[in-house]
Chains A and B, each alone.
Chain A
Amino acid sequence: DVKVTQSSRYLVKRTGEKVFLECVQDMDHENMFWYRQDPGLGLRLIYFSYDVKMKEKGDIPEGYSVSREKKERFSLILESASTNQTSMYLCASSRVRTGTAGYTFGSGTRLTVV
């Protein structure tokens, strides 16, 4: 089974801190995604990547950046955390660039910014 591992299950950070969320997948998937999940809003795409060192903005990229130095690892960076970035962050990967395969999600990181 494909595994997508997110480094932390829960995080508490202070306003203004730089926050790194790490995601690693073990099945050589090309595509990786970062979503945030908020009640009533579903999953919203922050950034995605189709290849190493490649990144594209999703629907809500403001306040975030990403890094993909290796195929298996996709990092989400909150440059200066704010309270409105308190959320559940979900990383996902898929093996097919055209989107014709299901996504595999990690267990999520619940981030609280105080």
Chain B
Amino acid sequence: GQQVMQIPQYQHVQEGEDFTTYCNSSTTLSNIQWYKQRPGGHPVFLIQLVKSGEVKKQKRLTFQFGEAKKNSSLHITATQTTDVGTYFCAGIGGTSYGKLTFGQGTILTVHP
């Protein structure tokens, strides 16, 4: 079945440093979504990318979808302590109509 791999599993940064998490799929994706889960909370939808090569920005967050639609990344510029949490990518492949497959998540810790 479809697999979505996400790296790194953990990332510790000093406040103000940048952070990137990467997501790779075993199959071509029709779209990819990103979620953030704060400690003790539940995943919250951040954004969806649909087009090949698409780049979207939300303030300090930049999301990219690869040209082959098999990989994606989330980059945070100048991290803040409010960025702590787990970031998940989730994709829908051609044969998994409407079903999201989640990556394992990247746990981000920001040291003040």
Contacts and interface: CB of A to CB of B under 8 A. Distances in A.
A and B part of one assembly:
yes
A106 B42 CA distance: 7
Given A42-B105, A59-B1, A50 B98 contact: yes
A107 B30 CA distance: 28
A75 interface: no
Interface stretch (A19-27, A79-87, A93-101): A93-101
Nearest to B4: A42
B104 A41 contact: yes
A43 interface: yes
Contacts, number: 64
B26 to A, nearest CB: 14
A97 B33 CA distance: 15
Interface residues of A, number: 28
Contact of A48 (B1, B41, B99): B99
Nearest to A40: B104
B52 to A, nearest CB: 16
Contacts of A101: 48
A58 interface: yes
A48 B98 CA distance: 10
Interface of A: 31, 33, 35, 40-45, 48, 50, 58-59, 90, 94, 96-108
